[in-house]
Amino acid sequence: MKEIVYLNGQFLPRSEARISPDDRGFIFADGIYEVIKYYGGKPFRFGDHILRLKRSLGEIGLSFDAGGLKEIFEGLLAKNGLGNTQAGVYLQITRGAEKRVHYFPVGINPTVYAFAFDFPSSKEKLEKGVGVITHEDIRWHRCDIKSVSLLPNTMLYNKAVEVGAGECILIRNGFVTEATHSSVLGVKGGKLLAHPLTNLVLPGITRIVIKEICESSQVEFAERAFTKDELYAMDEIIIAGTGSEIMPATSADGNKIGDGKPGPLTKLIQDKFFELTR
Ligand SMILES: Cc1ncc(COP(=O)(O)O)c(C=O)c1O
pLDDT along the chain (278 residues), means of 10: 95 98 98 98 98 98 96 98 98 98 97 98 97 98 98 98 98 98 98 98 98 98 98 98 98 98 98 96
Q: Is 139 touching ligand 1 by the criterion CB < 6 Å?
A: no
Radius of gyration of the chain (CA): 19
Q: For atom 1 of ligand 1, which residue has the closest CA?
A: 181
Q: For atom 7 of ligand 1, which residue has the closest CA?
A: 204
Q: Is 241 touching ligand 1 by the criterion CB < 6 Å?
A: yes
Instruction: Report the DSSP beta bridge partners of residue 6.
Output: 11, 114
Looking from the CA of 201 toward its CB, the CA atoms found within 13 Å total 27
Q: Is 23 touching ligand 1 by the criterion CB < 6 Å?
A: no
Q: Is 181 touching ligand 1 by the criterion CB < 6 Å?
A: yes
Q: For atom 14 of ligand 1, which residue has the closest CA?
A: 181
Q: Is 183 touching ligand 1 by the criterion CB < 6 Å?
A: yes
CA-based max dimension of the chain: 58
Write down the H helix ranges in the chain. 24-28, 46-59, 69-79, 123-128, 151-162, 205-216, 228-232, 264-277
Res 278: pLDDT:
86
Res 1: pLDDT:
78
The conformational region for residue 32 under phi > 0 = left, psi -120 to 50 = alpha, else beta, is beta
Res 111: pLDDT:
98
Mutate to test the pocket of ligand 1, among 37, 51, 242 (most ligand atoms within 8 A of CB): 242
